[in-house]
Amino acid sequence: MSADATGNLPAERPEHSPLLGESLKSLAPIVENISELEGAITTIAEVGDRSAAKSARKLQRQLRKVEPTVTMIGQVKAGKTTLVNAMVGWPGLLPADVNPWTSVITSLHITPRKQPGGDHATFRFFDGSEWDRLMEKGGRIGELAGRAGADEELEALNKQVAEMREKSKRRLGEKFEMLLGQEHKYGYVDQELVERYVCLGDDFESDTDTSNTQGRFADITKAADLFLHREEFPIDFCIRDTPGVNDTFMMREQITIRAIRESRICVVVLSAHQALSTVDLALIRLIANIPSREVLIFVNRVDELADPATQVPEIEDSIRQTLKDHQGPADAEIIFGSAIWANHVLEGTPDQLGEASAAALANWAGARLPKKTKKSGEELVWELSGVPALYEALAKRIEGGIGSEVVARTAKGAMNLVSSITTSEHIAAMRLSDDAVAPLKRQDVPAELDKIEARCLEAYDRAFRDVLFDFDKRLERSHRGFLDRATGSLIAHLEEHGEENVWNYDATGLRVLLRTAFQVFSRNAQTASQKIYMQTAAELREIYLRAFNVPDETFRLEAPPAPYVPAPVLLGQTIALDLGTGWWSRWWHKRRGYRNFAVDFAAMIQAETDPIVEGLQTEHAKAVAADARATLEGFIEGQRDILKQLCTQANTSEQELLDAGRTAENRERSKALEATTATLTKYAA
Ligand SMILES: Nc1nc2c(ncn2[C@@H]2O[C@H](COP(=O)(O)OP(=O)(O)O)[C@@H](O)[C@H]2O)c(=O)[nH]1
Ligand SMILES: [Mg+2]
């Protein structure tokens, strides 16, 4: 068997792909910044003493840990998995066309460094409570059905769930529930292994053959983490493939929401012949809460269009209009392409596209490419596949997002290290020339630090108490207002049209209000932390001035940057009001009497929306607050270490000081540090 471009056949580890390598050069500026910064920090390690070197290495480790992460979301069959395979230059790595029941999130962690143990994989199973939620209540959809009183759906659902459990038992053995919450690890990655954990076999419907179903774990697998070495990548990179948002149990929606929250960039993969024309509202709701700069739209399968040159601009307009109509990220960048084309190139078969596909390619090339070009046919197909453009867009976002953040944070840390080194030199000079007397005795430094820490943490807690209180109040007001208005509208409808006509109410208003409240929170949280970080830095700086007599005009101490606040994706969660048609009208037709309508309705919507409000308060807001506090504590802790070291040094013998202060060497050092500082300043901004 040979692999084909659909990527469903055995995949050996592919050769290095020069074209992919070329596309990944988009990431070069980020890598260059990081390595320039790493170089500057190496200088600090060389120039500073042992403790400075230790801190420098710690900063470098932080830099090396950077792993930009992209989450792919979209409808089932849009071609997410096929695109992911193309993006890592390994057609067939992840199985495409998997059973639509699968709910595994697969994270590909790609590294340019050869790993000691080679490629490896970890598969995590649902834990007991997640599984119970699915089995006992039919997942979120079961909860919804229960609340909406959709008894028939609930019954059908329970039947499906029972079947599922039976099949899992048959596949995995009676005691399969003991596996819940566990992990399986492997020291290699191949397609067979991935299939075992990610694909629910075709036997799912006609479960008669158990011969090859042994050890199929996909029923209970929640996450697959594959660690791969690919030399085309200049930097560690993570691509998360999600199963698609429209599933039977709506378990995936929850999982997808979590995956989006944990990464900074989300690529929405659409199928060109559907795009958003059928308006997948669940999908739009999910991205509606993400800022445009963190969303990219990849319209896949342009190879299936009859006339891409004409259709692509139409599709683009229609997507923008839909996004605008539903308050989504209307100016998100949209890229068109074909994962199949990319895979053909990777497999060296760009001349075997098939007639329609080749015609579409020629048509699209006419619209997209210059008439004259020196590029080879292979290069042109690769370009038209959209993968290079996708990486270019991703690189820009990574550079402006997590890239510049990590670089700035590390540069600030490094600048503070330089300050500590200059301080230690200052100590040497000071003792030798025996001038200044420090107004703060060094043995009093720890106590002074304790005071600063207590004061600043208290200021922090106070500020965040206010910020969170204000947020709760806003949420409460918006939530209550929405419930009142919705119930009011329901009653008005009943009075005007009676009980026979089904009434609908759009929850967009609630989402917009809650989102606005969250944006205010986000701004307040950032302003408050920034202010307190600066205040803390200023107070700590005083210690340097008073204990070590460093020059006030030139001595700098950098505060950490304000925290990143993840988008409130949770707001996109489907609630009963979103489930038009059958369900809702059944709920409606089961009620009698205006009062029952109003009371039941209010209770149901409250039950549906309470968890969202609560999630915003805890998972979102409180998590940001805790993070920001940890940064403050970490900052103070780091400064405590440095100051402790400086105090010890100030007490060392005169001979050592003389050694440390050897003038020629000193001058060398100062020069090196000056150059370093210039680099650091560039990145700290
Ligand atoms: N014609 C065409 N088919 C594609 C393309 N990308 C994926 N497919 C096919 O669409 C089907 C679903 O793809 P898959 O990657 O599993 O979609 P997912 O559910 O979004 O992960 C598979 O049969 C793929 O071979 C494409 O760009 N063009
Ligand atoms: Mg898939």
Map 154-216 to HEC letters.
HHHHHHHHHHHHHHHHHHHCCCHHHHCCCEEEECCCCHHHHHHHHCCCHHHCCCCCCCCCCCC
pLDDT over 50 at 234, yes or no: yes
Ligand 1 proximity of 303 Cβ (cutoff 6 Å): yes
pLDDT digits (tens, 9 = 90+) for 581-608: 666 777 777 777 777 777 888 888 888 8
Mean pLDDT of 258-268: 89
The pLDDT of residue 330: 83
Position with higher pLDDT, 139 vs 256: 256
Sign of CA dihedral 669, 672, 678, 680: negative
What is the 83 CA–ligand 1 centroid distance (Å)? 8
pLDDT digits (tens, 9 = 90+) for 141-195: 677 777 766 677 777 777 777 777 787 778 777 777 888 899 999 999 988 888 8
What is the 195 CA–ligand 1 centroid distance (Å)? 17
The pLDDT of residue 662: 54
The pLDDT of residue 247: 59
pLDDT over 80 at 537, yes or no: yes
Residues 6+ apart with CB under 8 A from 199: 95, 98, 99, 102, 216, 218
CA distance 316 to 540: 53
Residue of minimum CA distance from atom 19 in ligand 1: 77
Collapse the DSSP code of 26 into the 3-class scheme (helix H, G, I; strand E, B; otherwise coil) and give the result: helix
Nearest ligand, measured from the Cα of 74: 1
The pLDDT of residue 270: 93
Range with the lowest mean pLDDT among 162-171, 607-616, 676-685?
Answer: 162-171
The pLDDT of residue 437: 44
pLDDT over 60 at 10, yes or no: no
The structure's pTM equals: 0.87
The pLDDT of residue 139: 66
Ligand 1 proximity of 286 Cβ (cutoff 6 Å): no
Residues 154, 142 contacting (CB under 8 angstroms): yes
CA distance 152 to 449: 65
Alpha helices in 326-376 (DSSP H): 339-346, 355-368
At residue 333, φ and ψ (nearest 5 deg) are: -70, 140
At residue 182, φ and ψ (nearest 5 deg) are: -95, 180
Range with the lowest mean pLDDT among 106-110, 628-632, 652-656?
Answer: 652-656
CA distance 228 to 248: 32
Q: Which two tokens stand for residue 241?
A: 């493939």
List beta partners, residue 567.
Answer: none
Per cent of the chain over pLDDT 90 is 41
The pLDDT of residue 246: 63
CA distance 314 to 301: 15
What is the 340 CA–ligand 1 centroid distance (Å)? 7
Atom of ligand 1 at shortest range from CA of 304: 1
Position with higher pLDDT, 217 vs 617: 617
Position with higher pLDDT, 249 vs 508: 508
Mean pLDDT of 342-358: 92
The pLDDT of residue 226: 96
Range with the lowest mean pLDDT among 77-86, 146-155, 207-216, 404-413?
Answer: 207-216
Identify which of 77, 93, 191 to mutate to test ligand 1's pocket (most ligand atoms within 8 A of the CB). 77
Ligand 1 proximity of 73 Cβ (cutoff 6 Å): no
The pLDDT of residue 308: 95
pLDDT over 70 at 15, yes or no: yes
pLDDT over 80 at 630, yes or no: yes
Position with higher pLDDT, 169 vs 17: 17
Which DSSP symbol is given to 564? Answer: P
Identify which of 97, 103, 108, 300 to mutate to test ligand 1's pocket (most ligand atoms within 8 A of the CB). 97
Atom of ligand 1 at shortest range from CA of 6: 25
CA distance 433 to 2: 79
What is the 278 CA–ligand 2 centroid distance (Å)? 20
Position with higher pLDDT, 579 vs 626: 626
What is the 321 CA–ligand 2 centroid distance (Å)? 27
pLDDT digits (tens, 9 = 90+) for 459-507: 999 999 999 999 999 999 999 999 888 888 888 888 888 877 777 788 8
**CA dist 679 → 40, 414, 422 (Å):** 7, 10, 17
Work out the mean pLDDT of the chain and round it to a whole number.
84
Position with higher pLDDT, 14 vs 433: 14
Per cent of the chain over pLDDT 70 is 87
CA distance 252 to 141: 11
pLDDT digits (tens, 9 = 90+) for 202-228: 544 444 444 444 347 877 888 999 999
At residue 120, φ and ψ (nearest 5 deg) are: -150, 170
The pLDDT of residue 204: 43
The pLDDT of residue 12: 64
CA distance 310 to 145: 43
pLDDT over 70 at 439, yes or no: no
Nearest ligand, measured from the Cα of 198: 2
Range with the lowest mean pLDDT among 197-206, 271-280, 523-532?
Answer: 197-206
pLDDT over 80 at 250, yes or no: no
pLDDT confidence tier of residue 274, bands split at 50, 70 and 90: confident
Residue of minimum CA distance from atom 12 in ligand 1: 77
The pLDDT of residue 7: 41
pLDDT over 90 at 303, yes or no: yes
Where along the chain do its domains lie?
Answer: 436-651
pLDDT over 50 at 365, yes or no: yes
CA distance 585 to 19: 54
pLDDT digits (tens, 9 = 90+) for 554-585: 888 999 999 999 999 889 888 877 776 666 77
Sign of CA dihedral 88, 93, 96, 100: negative
